[in-house]
Chain A
Amino acid sequence: MSSTEATESPIKATTAETRLLEAIETVNGVLLGKASQVRLAFSCLLARGHLLIEDLPGVGKTTLAHALATVLGAHYQRIQFTSDLMPADILGVSIYRRDQERFEFHPGPIFADLVLADEVNRATPKTQSALLEAMAEGQVTVEGETHALPDPFFVIATQNPLDLVGTFPLPDSQLDRFLLSVRLGFPDPAVERDLLVAENRAALLARTPAVLSMEDVAQLQAQCAKVHAGEALLDYVQALLAETRNDRWFESGLSPRAGIALLQCGRAHAFLDGRDFVAPEDIKAVFPALTRHRMTVPSGMDATVEDQAAALLERVAIP
C-alpha cells in the first residue's frame, strides 16, 4: 500500500485550514458554477448547522450532498422520504434476539456522519419530526434507550417546492432546525454546456478522494466558534434583527435563536475567508440563506422572501 501512503502524506503535511480550502475546490470541481452555494454549505457545516436545499430535481442537490460527504471523508447515508416512510425506517429498530434473549438495536440510516434526506416534505409529519428531533438533539431515543449520533453530524435535506400534491410542508418551527437554506438554481449557460459533455458526475465522485477527515471537521468547527465578533459587528447584527421585526418586511421577525445562528454563520463565513474576525459582509452574505426558509412575506405583498431580505439589507446602515 505504498501508493496510498504516498498520496496521504502530503495531505497530512498540510494544516486543516488549507485542506478545507482544497475540499471546497474539490466540491467546486464537481458541482460546477455554484461556488457561493458551496461556500454557504461549508459555512453551514462549520457552524454546526443543517442545510436545506429547496430546488427542482436534477439541478445537483444529490451531487452536492455526495460531493460534500466524499471530501469530508464522512460516512454518508441517503434517505429517500416517501409518504409511507416510518420513523423507524430512519432511526432504526430494536429487534428481539431470541438466541441472546434480549433486544438488539439496529441503527437506522440516520446513524451516519452526513445524511441526505431527499424530499423531506413528502413524508408524514410524524416521520419528519423524528428526523428533525434527531437533528436538534444530536441523539436518538428508541424505546427508552438513547443512542448518540456521531459528532459532527450533518443533515442535508431537500425539498421540492413545486410538487405540492401529497406533501406535508414542514411547519415553521421545524424549519428553524435548518441553519441555512439554499437554492441551487439552473446552471449558467456556459457551465451547462460544459456539463453536457463532461464526465458523469457519479463516476467523477467515485474517483474523488477524501480531503478532510471528521476529526478535521470537528477541529475546524471549534476554531470557527472562536472567530471574533466585535462591538461594531454586534451592533450591526442587532440592527438587522430589529429591522426584521418591522412588519413591512416579513410576517414575523427573526427570533433571538435565529440571531445567534446568524452570527454563527457569519463566523463560519469569515473563517472560510481566512479571517479571524467577522465583517458585515459575512453577515450580509449569509442573511438571505438564513431568512429564506424562516420568513414569510406578509400576505398581499408581491415579493419573495429573497427580495425582501435584499431590500432589508439595503436599509440597514453599517456602523
Chain B
Amino acid sequence: MKMKRQGHPVKGRPVYWVIACLLTALLPQLAAMPAHLALLTLAPLAWRLLAEMRGWKPMYPLLRLAVTVAAMVVLFSTYGNPFGRRTAVSLLALMLSLKLLEMFKIRDARLVASLALFLAATQFLFAQGLGMLAYGVAVMATALVSLTLLARAQAFGAAQSPAPIGAGARRELGYSLRLVAIALPAALALFMFFPRWSSPMWGVPEESLDARSGLSGEMTPGSIQSLFMDDTPAFRVEFSSPVPSQQDLYWRGPVFWNFDGRSWEGSYYGRNIAARARPRPDDASLYYTVLMEPTEQHWMFALDYPAVTPPDSRLTLDYQLMSRKPVTRLRQYEMMSDPDFTDSPTLSATLRDQALRLPDGFNPRTRELMAEWRASAATDAELVRRALAHFNTEPFRYTLNPALLTRHSVDEFLFDTREGFCEHYASAFTVMMRMLDIPARVVTGYQGGWYNEFGDYLLVRQSDAHAWSEVWLPGAGWTRVDPTAAVAPSRIERNAMDALDGRRHAFDFAWVRQVRNGVDWLGRSWNDWVIAFDAARQSRLLSAFGIDNLDARALVVLLALGLSVAAAFIVPVLLRRAPGRRGDPLARSWRRFRRRLTGAGVNLQPSMGPMEVAAAAAGVLPAQANEVHDIAAHYRRLRYAENGGRLDAFTRAVRGFRVNRPKGEHQ
C-alpha cells in the first residue's frame, strides 16, 4: 500500500525544485572539483531539466548503467586516492546527480532532496565560514520546499486528483524558511549544550585538505607575489595592550637560512632546535590573542619575540613559533611578546657558518661590488646602512610585476632591472650581507594589518605577506633590517596595496575595501562565537550562569533541559498549524477563504453554512458579492454534492480571491 502510494509519478514544479535544491547543494563541491568532473556532475541535472521541459521518457536502464559506470571510472581516475575525503564526497555528489536520471517517481525525488541535505552536511568538512551558513540555509530551504511539494503531490495523487498550482515560489520559500526558524531553538540548545570534545569528533586526516594559500617553507621567486592578490584573512589579532604602530607590526613566520642561488629554505637548526633563551613573561609588553585561519602548515604567527608558547607548540632557535600539528582548523592562542629582547648576543661557529654560506659561481658582479665596500668600511653597522642607502639613492622601484630574473638573479636585480618587491629586496640584501661577511638570513611573515574599528581588532590578510632580512651584529644580536622600507617606506607605514601606484584590480575602491572589512568583522564574529566554540568556550559560557564543574552528565541534563525549553516554543507553533481536518485540501482552502473574509471585517461564525457566509460577505463587500457567492456555491457543491467537480478550480479561485477595499477606507 505504502509502496503503491509512493509510486506516483512526479512532474512539474516539484521536479524543478528538487533540481534547484540539488544544484544549490552541489555549488561548493563543483567549485572544488576539477572542471571535467564538475561538468560531468552537472550533465545529469541538465538532462533531467530538459526531460521535464520536453517531456522525455526515462533513460533506457542499460544506458543508465553504462553512464554510471563510465562516470565512476572518470572519478576514480581523476582522484588517485580512493579513500580521500574529497574523493568520497565527489562520489556522493556524482551519484546523487546521476540519480536524477531515474528520478521519475515521488519516492526517488524525495530521496534526492533528503540526500542533498546530507551532501550539504559533508561540505562542512571542508569549510565552516560564514558563507557556509548562508549555503546551509539555502540548501535547507530549497530541500524543504521540495519535500513539501512532494508531500502535496503525493496527497493529491492518493486522492486521484491533480495537485493544484502551487502558491508561488516566494510563498513556498517563505514557508520553508519558517520551518527552519521553528527548528532554531532546538538547534541552539543542541549547539550550546551538546557535549564537546576538545578536538573535532571526526578525525581530520592531516595534510589531506585542499591546498591553501599562505606562506610556505620555501621562498622561490614569485611565491609571495601570488599572495598579494589574495585578500582572504590570514589571522586576526585582538590586543589587550596598546596596538603598536604600523611599522612595528612584523609578524614572524618562516625563517630562511639556505640559499641555492634561486630559492631560500629553512635550516635544520632553525627548524628543529628549540630556542636556547627566551624573554621572560614579566618583560613582555605586548599582550594579544591571535585567531588564526587554517593553513595546513605548522607556522603560527607572533610579534618579536614570543615570551610564551601556546599549548601544543614550540619555539625554534630562530624564534619561529611552530604548532606540533598542522593548523587544519581555526586556532586561537594567547600571546605575549617582548620587542626589546636581544636574540643571540653570541653566535656559535656553526650558526655563523650557516648564516654566511653562499653557493659558488653566482652573482659575480655583486661579489665584486661588495669587496669594494668591505675595503672602504669599518664596521658591520656601517655596511648595513650603506646597503640601505644604496637601495634608497639608486633608482630602485617597488612593483608587483617585475621583470623576470635568470641565473645571476641578484646581479641582474641590482644592476639591470632594479625593480621588484619585498622578496627581491630581502633576498638581494641578505646575499649582499653574506658577501660582506655579515651573518644574515631572510624572514618571511606578515607586515602590518588593517585595524577594524567595528570589532576593535587587527586583521592581517594574505596580501600583507612580507619578507625582510635579519643581520647579526656584535652586541645587538640578530637585528631586523627591512630593505623594502628603504625603497618604498609607504609599504611599511601603510600597507602593501597603498604602496602601489594605481589599483590592483578593477574593483579596488576604498568603499569596496570598507565593505569587505565590515564583512570581515562578521566573519570574525562567526569564527569567534560559532566555529571556535569548543569545550573550553562552552564551559566558560556556562560558568557565567554559575554552572562550574561541567561533566558529561551535567551536560546531558542541560541538553535535555534546553531541548524541553525549545520544544515549549515549537510545540505550540506546530499545534496551531495543525489543521482540523488533516489532508483535506478542500477544507483548508475554504478556511483560508473564510480567514480572508474575516480579515476584511466580515463577521463569520463556525455555524454558518457556505451560503450564509456568502450572504454575510455580500453585506460587507457588495462589490464582490458575485465572486464570493460563486466561490461559496462552488465549495458547497464540492463539499456536499455527490460529484462536486474539480477541486483545483476551487483552490485556484480561492487563491485568486483578493478583497478589494473601496477607496477611502482605512485599515
CB neighbors of A among B576-624 (8 A): 581, 587, 605-612
A315 at the interface (CB under 8 A from B): yes
Residues in chain A near residue B178, CB distance under 8 A: none
CA distance A275 to B640 in the complex (A): 11
The smallest beta-carbon distance between A239 and chain B, in angstroms, is: 10
Q: Is the CB of A279 within 8 A of B642?
A: no
Segment of A116-124, A154-162, A202-210, A227-235 in the binding face: A227-235
A137 CB within 8 Å of chain B: no
A318 contacts chain B at the CB level, 8 A cutoff:
yes
B176-201 contacts to A, CB under 8 A, are none
CB-CB under 8 A from A233, the residues of chain B are 640
User: Closest CB of chain A to B605's CB: distance in Å?
Assistant: 7
B374 in contact (CB, < 8 A): no
Query: Which residues 614-657 of B have a CB within 8 angstroms of A?
Result: 636-637, 639-642
Cβ contacts under 8 Å, B612 to chain A: 281, 284
Contact A278 B642 (CB under 8 A): no
How long is the Cα–Cα vector from A229 to B641 in the complex, in angstroms? 7
Residues of A within 8 A of B642 (CB): 228, 230, 276-277
| Cβ contacts A to B, 29 pairs, < 8 Å | A228-B640, A228-B642, A230-B641, A232-B639, A232-B640, A233-B640, A275-B641, A276-B641, A276-B642, A277-B641, A278-B640, A279-B609, A279-B610, A279-B611, A279-B636, A279-B640, A280-B640, A281-B609, A281-B611, A284-B609, A284-B612, A313-B607, A315-B607, A316-B607, A317-B606, A317-B607, A318-B607, A318-B608, A319-B587
In the complex, what residue of chain B is closest to A230 when comparing beta carbons?
A: B640
Chain B residues lying within 8 Å of A230, measured Cβ to Cβ, are: 639-642
- Residue A314 at the chain B interface, CB threshold 8 Å: yes
Q: Inside 8 A of A313's CB, which chain B residues have their CB?
A: 607
A279 contacts across to B, CB distance below 8 A = 609-611, 636, 640
Residue among A228, A278, A319 with max Cβ neighbours from chain B (10 Å): A319
A: residues with CB less than 8 A from B are 228-230, 232-233, 275-281, 284, 313-319
Q: Which 4 A-B pairs have the closest CB atoms?
A: A317-B606, A277-B641, A280-B609, A228-B642
User: In the complex, what residue of chain B is closest to A285 when comparing beta carbons?
Assistant: B609
| C-alpha spacing A228/B642, complex, angstroms | 6
| Min CB–CB distance B108 → chain A (angstroms) | 35
Contacts of B641 in A (CB 8 A): 228, 230, 275-277
Residues in B neighbouring A276, C-beta threshold 8 A? 641-642
Residues on B with C-beta less than 8 A from A232 are 639-640
Closest A residue to B610 using CB positions:
A279
Q: How far is the CA of A240 from the CA of B605 in the complex (A)?
A: 16
Q: What's the minimum C-beta distance from B639 to chain A, rounded to whole angstroms?
A: 5
Least distance between B611 CB and chain A CB atoms (Å): 5
Could you say which residues of chain B place their CB within 8 Å of the CB of A280? 609-610, 640
Apart from A281-B610, A316-B607, 6 more pairs, CB < 8 Å: A228-B641, A230-B640, A277-B642, A279-B610, A280-B609, A314-B607
Q: How far is the CA of A318 from the CA of B612 in the complex (A)?
A: 11
A283's closest neighbor in chain B, by CB?
Answer: B609
Q: Nearest Cβ in chain B — how far from A11, in angstroms?
A: 30
B: number of interface residues (CB 8 Å): 16
Within 8 A of A (CB), among B333-363: none
> How far is B606's CA from A228's CA once the two chains are assembled, in angstroms?
23
Q: Which of A275, A278, A318 contacts B606 (CB 8 A)?
A: A318
Please, which residues of chain B bring their CB within 8 A of the CB of A319? 581, 587
Residues of chain B contacted by A228 (CB below 8 angstroms) = 640-642
Complex CA distance for A230 and B611, rounded to whole angstroms: 17
Q: Are B609 and A318 touching (Cβ within 8 A)?
A: yes
Instruction: Point out the residues of chain A lying under 8 angstroms from B608, CB to CB.
Output: 318
Give CA–CA (A232, B642) in the complex, Å. 11
Q: Which residues of A contact B587 (CB under 8 A)?
A: 319
User: How far, in Å, is A242 (CB) from chain B's closest CB?
Assistant: 14
A281 contact set on B, CB distance < 8 A: 609-612
**B609 contacts across to A, CB distance below 8 A:** 279-281, 284, 318
Interface string of B64-75 (1 = CB under 8 A from A): 000000000000
Q: Which residues of A contact B606 (CB under 8 A)?
A: 317-318
Residues of B within 8 A of A316 (CB): 607
C-alpha spacing A319/B605, complex, angstroms: 12
> A residues within 8 A CB of B639?
230, 232
The distance in angstroms between the C-alpha atoms of A283 and B606, with both chains bound, is 15
In the bound complex, CA of A284 to CA of B612 (Å): 11
A270, chain B: closest CB distance, angstroms: 9
Interface string of B85-111 (1 = CB under 8 A from A): 000000000000000000000000000
Residues of B within 8 A of A315 (CB): 607
Chain A residues whose C-beta falls within 8 Å of the C-beta of B581 in the assembled complex: 319
Residue of B nearest to A317 (CB): B606
Task: Give A277 to B639 CA distance when docked, in angstroms.
Answer: 10
> Which residue of chain A is the closest to B607 with respect to CB atoms?
A314
A305 to chain B, nearest CB (A): 18
- Contact A277-B607, Cβ < 8 Å, known A228-B642, A230-B642: no
**Which residues of A have CB within 8 Å of B636?**
279
Q: Name B651-667 residues within 8 Å CB distance of A.
A: none
CB distance from A164 to the nearest CB of B (A): 35
Most buried by A among B587, B610, B640: B640
Known: A228-B642, A230-B642. A277 touches B637 (CB 8 A): yes
* Distance in Å: Cβ of A286 to nearest Cβ of chain B: 13
A318 proximity list for chain B (CB < 8 A): 606-609
Give A229 to B640 CA distance when docked, in angstroms.
7
> Considering the chains assembled together, what is the distance between the CA atoms of A275 and B644 in angstroms?
12
Residues of A within 8 A of B610 (CB): 279-281
Q: Which of A233, A277, A313, A316 lies at the interface centre, i.e. has the most chain B CB atoms within 10 A of its CB?
A: A277
Bound Cα distance A319, B635 (Å): 12
A243 to B612: give the CA distance in the assembly, Å: 21
CA gap between A317 and B642 in the complex, in Å: 21
Bound-state Cα–Cα, A239 to B488, Å: 92
Residues of B within 8 A of A275 (CB): 641
Q: Which residues of A contact B637 (CB under 8 A)?
A: 277
Q: Which residue of B lies closest to A314 (CB)?
A: B607
> Chain B residues near A229 (CB, 8 Å)?
640
Residues in A with CB closer than 8 Å to B611 are 279, 281
Query: Smallest Cβ distance from A193 to chain B, in angstroms?
Result: 28
**Docked CA distance A70–B640 (Å):** 35
